Structure 1
């Protein structure tokens, strides 16, 4: 058993398998998952786990080259930006880009537009 980091086996596998330029989406409970895109469903109940908690765990293990989020995000947008600088896109564009994701991570977050797209970088 892992002692630290992401303990969810499926999420850990997805993060470990990312290559340069791969997209990982972390979303709220209502974000639609595009057909054909795997979903790592972490949602337990509304609000659990919070999207920001999942984002923090992923950022502790993932090298992020760039990120984007919906411009419609309210105060949660600022909290996302404080963790990882994001380009802003409309929610419709966000959903379109999600179709190219390696996976969508569904959280229990109930805040509208609490979604972020993370593009994998390299550590060298």
Structure 2
């Protein structure tokens, strides 16, 4: 059995096969997922699993070098936005790295998810609780 926090087989496989600059989206329950992109659907019910809990596990599993967020996230859902930024800051402190943070319109965000290797859907029901992670390298 895997002794790391991530037990989901599809997410483990995804993390193991990512290359530098590949993108992975973690989203709320409502974000449309392009048909051509792998969907890893974790949603069980409203709020389960949460966006932040899923982000925490992903950050413990995969090296990132940047994030992309919808501009609307900070205005519409400031608590969740701040919680995400706190997780990103903690990861920067833990790794000694600085990650890029890019804001784009929600419409552009939805289009960009089409370039993700996968979209991980949570049960989160907070508007705009979505992030695209740019994969980094561990060396």
* TM-score interval, normalised by the smaller of the two chains: over 0.9
Q: Where do 4+ consecutive residues of structure 1 move more than 6 Å? A: none
Name whichever of 104-113 and 77-86 sits farther off: 77-86
Alignment of 1:26-105 (within 5 A): 26-73=26-73, 74-75=77-78, 76-84=80-88, 86-105=101-120
User: What TM-score, normalized to structure 2?
Assistant: 0.86
> Cα offset for 1:61?
1.2
What's the Cα RMSD here? Answer: 1.0
> Cα offset for 1:116?
0.2
Taking the aligned partners of 1:67 and 1:78, their CA distance within structure 2 comes to 14
> Cα offset for 1:36?
0.5
Q: Secondary structure at the match of 1:29?
A: coil
* Count of residue pairs brought into register by the alignment: 124
User: Which ranges in structure 2 are unaligned for 5 or more consecutive residues?
Assistant: 89-98
> Cα offset for 1:118?
0.1
Q: Secondary structure at the match of 1:114?
A: coil
> Cα offset for 1:2?
1.1
Q: Secondary structure at the match of 1:99?
A: helix
Residue deviations 1:59-95 (CA, integer Å, cap 9, x gap): 0011111101111112111211222263211111111
> Cα offset for 1:4?
2.1
Please say if 1:19 is aligned against 2:36: no
Contact 1:65/1:120 (CA < 8 Å) preserved in 2? yes
> Cα offset for 1:5?
2.1
Contact 1:69/1:77 (CA < 8 Å) preserved in 2? no
Taking the aligned partners of 2:118 and 2:28, their CA distance within structure 1 comes to 14
